[in-house]
Amino acid sequence: MDKLPYLNSIFIEKGSENYRITQNLLSRYPWIKPKIVSAGSEAFWDLAKISADPIGEGKKRLFIGRQKGDFLKKCPGTKNMVCCNYYVLNLATQCSLDCSYCILQEYLRNNPALKVFCNIKDCFSEIEDLVRSRPNAALRIGTGEFTDSLALDEIAGFSNELVPFFLGRKNLILELKTKTTSIANLLKYDNASNVVVAWSMNPDAVIELEEEGAAKVKERVEAARECMEKGYRIAFHFDPVILYDGWEEGYKGVVDLIFRHIDARKIAWISVGGLRFRPSLKEVIRERFPKSRLLTGEHILGEDGKMRYLKSLRISAYRKIVGWIRAAAPSARVYLCMESREIWRKIFYMVPKCQEKPDLLFDGE
C-alpha cells in the first residue's frame, strides 16, 4: 500500500467512537492516543498560533466526526461555464496530498484540519432519495470535490462501504478521482462496471513541482491498469493543464503512456481543463510554494472571476491534447471541464446538452 499519511494527532467527536470508519482509522495509528472533543473546532483552533503554515500543519491533524448536514449535493458549477451535471458526495474535507494549485488551501483556510465523516452509511438514504426523484436519469456521483477520493481510503475504508452499495445499480455511476495508487480496497471487488476509477493526469515535471505527495504518472497508469483488469471502468482528467516550457512533449508523453497500457474501450471519459484559480489564491501559492511555476504564465481574470490562461493559449493547448487523444482513440469521450460555450465550439464545434444524464455531455446543440 501507499505510505500512511503522516498524522501527529487524532480528535474524535464524542459519540463517534464506535463507527467502523473511526475504528479503521484508529487501527492504522495505534501509537496516537486520540482526544475526545465536543466540536471539530478543537482540532484546529490553535493552528494559526503555533505554525507559520496552518494549512500544512492542519494536514497532520485528523478530526473524525459525524456529518450533520447533507452528504450529497449538486455540483454548483461555475458561472457562465458548461456543467456536466455532477453530484458531489462529501465524505471528508481537506487532503493529505499538498498540491500548489489546490483551492482547498483557500476554501479551508479557517478550518484546515483533515476531517473525516464516520457516519458514511447515512449517505445511502440520500442517494436513494435522489434515485427515486429522478428514476430515468443516469446519475454521476463523485467523492473527489473536497478531498482526494482515495488518499485516505486504505486507512478509512470508504470504498469498502461505497462499492458494494453501488454494485449493480445501472442508473448510478460512482466516480473515485485520485492522484494516488491507493487501490487495495478496490481490488477486492470484481466487475464493478458502474464504478469509474479516475486519475488526474499531469507530466512528472508538474507532479514533482506542484503535486507534493502524489504518485508519479507511470504509477497512476499502472494502478489504472490493475483496476481495469478487475472490471472497473477508467477515466482520466487532464485538469489542471499547466503550461510550462516543454509542456507539449510532457502532455503528449502522458497521452501515449495511457494508451500503451489502457484499453480505450474501458475508458469511460477523459476531461481536459486549464489551470484556474481565484485571485486571492496567488498569495497563498507564493507563501507556501515559492518554487512553483504556476504564477509565471500569462493569466487574465475570466468571466467566472478566476485567473485563467489567455483564451488563445487555452484553445491551442486543448486542440493539441484533444487531438493526441483522438489520434490514439477516435471514439473516446472527451469533454472540457469548466469552460465556456465559446471555447467548446472552438474545440468540438458543438456545445453539449447535459441536463439529464452524463451521456448527453457528448450530444451537441
Structural domains for the chain: 69-92+120-362 (3.80.30.30)
168 Cβ contact list (under 8 Å, min separation 6)? 194
Pairing of strands 35-37, 9-13: parallel
In three-state form (DSSP H/G/I as H, E/B as E, the rest C), the secondary structure along 117-145 is ECCHHHHHHHHHHHHHHCCCCCEEEECCC
Mean local confidence (pLDDT), 233-244: 97
Mean pLDDT of the chain: 92
Res. 1: pLDDT tops 50: no
Res. 180: pLDDT tops 50: yes
Res. 360: pLDDT tops 50: no
pLDDT digits (tens, 9 = 90+) for 197-217: 999 999 999 999 999 999 999
Neighbours of 83 (CB within 10 A): 16
The amino acid sitting at 342 is E
pLDDT at residue 140, as a whole number: 92
Asked if 241 and 274 count as a contact pair (C-beta separation under 8 A), the reply is yes
pLDDT digits (tens, 9 = 90+) for 330-356: 999 999 998 989 999 999 998 876 544
Q: Is 80 helix (H, G, I), strand (E, B) or coil?
A: coil
pLDDT at residue 74, as a whole number: 85
Q: Is 137 exposed, middle or buried (0-12, 13-18, 19+ CB in 10 A)?
A: middle
Instruction: Of 328, 333, 340, 341, give the one whose Cα is nearest residue 360.
Output: 333
What gap in Å lies between CA 10 and CA 365, rounded to an integer? 51
Asked if 262 and 229 count as a contact pair (C-beta separation under 8 A), the reply is no
Question: Alpha carbon of 263 to those of 229, 260, 267: distances in Å?
Answer: 10, 8, 7
Q: Is 290 helix (H, G, I), strand (E, B) or coil?
A: coil
Mean local confidence (pLDDT), 182-193: 95
Instruction: Give bridge partners of residue 37 from the DSSP assignment.
Output: 13
pLDDT digits (tens, 9 = 90+) for 33-83: 999 999 989 999 999 889 999 999 999 999 999 999 999 998 765 555 555
pLDDT at residue 77, as a whole number: 59
What gap in Å lies between CA 276 and CA 309, rounded to an integer? 8
Name the grid cell of 292. 512553483
Residue 357: pLDDT band (50, 70, 90) is very low
